[in-house]
Structure 1
């Protein structure tokens, strides 16, 4: 897509899943990429794959978005050629546990709040002023969830964090309404990535059970929507997209075929 050619796109949580799929599709569209993740080896592997496949520039960086100091230092020390960020994809996020609130682990709550909410805020706070400084038609794309619209049992804190993403997106859109910056919130339902493996603390069987009997979305489905929103003409702002598998109505209402 010509509109994305040579744009600089920053994607957090890009070592796999939706983040990696977004990186690949942006690269295919001619964009240059800054991709980050907590594990530098994994994100460097993604960068190497993309460079070889699409012959585009990719900068791979280690970053835990929960660490405000690390976020600030990383953005402040970007190489000169990478400072003019056009698009920010706040993708880093996670779910931990399926306990009832009164039985939950505070450590799980903190991981979700620090990543899904505070990490998104830290990156947005550092990058949006640079978009304004460089007078680019900037775009902030947040990966929310249907969990931010309707809660479901066992997901109280996760749902709260994704509701926060929705309202942060809405509020930021108001804050930058007098600028060229656009804000989009993508709210997927069931997407089969390593999401459920993380939620169940590495229990692959429990994770597999989540998607049994239904054809879930895949990471590439969400990447298609992200890149579509980013490639819309500058006067078009896609504010919010909610997407689910055909047999999912909400986080808690799913039809599964019996074996």
Structure 2
């Protein structure tokens, strides 16, 4: 019987890359995200290319009732989740704390922290019932360091770091693995979202060096997930060669 991976934020970037990689490795998939048209298009592509089964569930992780209702509505066979990839997350704005947007703060906290919690609570209980599972939380170098104007985004990713450690402890008696991947600069839609569609400003973030791409992180996640049963990688930071820490990038 094929294993199942549930991926949040699967409509683009790291989530979409993970969907392709896990399908390639013969996992059936539960794909979630806000943009149903993208999910359906991706599901069709994966089914055709890799001959895997794909279930689609469109909802916003910020909405607790949507999360619970949509996940619990999945047929029983889809609740045998082997791997949960908590990928849904974003950054909004890049302002000093005194100028920050309250709406941006709410969006980041509700998505990056509360959304991750809502999904994890549902799926962790499935895993406990199934007596197996692996949760992979996508953090950030912003969860290890704080950089200028990163304030609330950094706070949310520090929360992910703490929650990852807490999950590891709480789920230990149930034999459920828990891991966090903390990327540095990855060129995806991330900066476009942060700068609210300003593509020119987003492009400048990655000028002068070779950033990571979504496939790099998907491959890292696969490495973590594919370790032997007795091995759990708790925490991993992944950087482009040109980046030393959150604020130090060598640009040519």
TM-score, normalized by length of structure 1?
0.96
Quote how far apart the aligned CAs of 1:45 are: 1.0
**Residues 35-184 of structure 1 mapped to structure 2, 5 A cutoff:** 35-135=31-131, 137-184=132-179
The question of whether the paired residues in 1 share the 8 Å contact of 2:179 and 2:234 is answered with yes
1:244 and 2:204 are equivalent in the alignment: no
Q: Secondary structure at the match of 1:178?
A: helix
- Let me know the Cα RMSD of the aligned residues: 0.8
Quote how far apart the aligned CAs of 1:49 are: 1.1
In 1: Cα distance, 2:79 partner to 2:15 partner: 20
In 2: Cα distance, 1:197 partner to 1:24 partner: 23
In 1: Cα distance, 2:75 partner to 2:126 partner: 14
The question of whether the paired residues in 1 share the 8 Å contact of 2:89 and 2:108 is answered with yes
- Indicate the residue corresponding to 1:190 in structure 2: 185
Quote how far apart the aligned CAs of 1:234 are: 1.1
Q: Secondary structure at the match of 1:33?
A: strand
In 1: Cα distance, 2:79 partner to 2:251 partner: 47
In 2: Cα distance, 1:179 partner to 1:94 partner: 30
Spell out structure 1 runs of 4+ moving beyond 2 A. Answer: none
Quote how far apart the aligned CAs of 1:80 are: 2.1
Render the CA deviation track for 1:212-251: whole Å, top value 9, x for unaligned.
Answer: 0010000000000111111111110011110011111112
Q: How many residues were matched structurally?
A: 252
Render the CA deviation track for 1:88-137: whole Å, top value 9, x for unaligned.
Answer: 100000000000011010000000000000000000011101111122x2
Quote how far apart the aligned CAs of 1:168 are: 0.1
Equivalent in 178, 188, 194 of residue 199 of structure 1: 194
1:208 and 2:198 are equivalent in the alignment: no
- Indicate the residue corresponding to 2:7 in structure 1: 11
In 1: Cα distance, 2:249 partner to 2:128 partner: 43
In 1: Cα distance, 2:104 partner to 2:239 partner: 25
Render the CA deviation track for 1:153-203: whole Å, top value 9, x for unaligned.
Answer: 111100000000000000110111212100000000000000000000000
In 2: Cα distance, 1:222 partner to 1:194 partner: 14
In 2: Cα distance, 1:83 partner to 1:185 partner: 22
In 2: Cα distance, 1:229 partner to 1:133 partner: 23
1:233 and 2:231 are equivalent in the alignment: no
In 2: Cα distance, 1:157 partner to 1:181 partner: 30
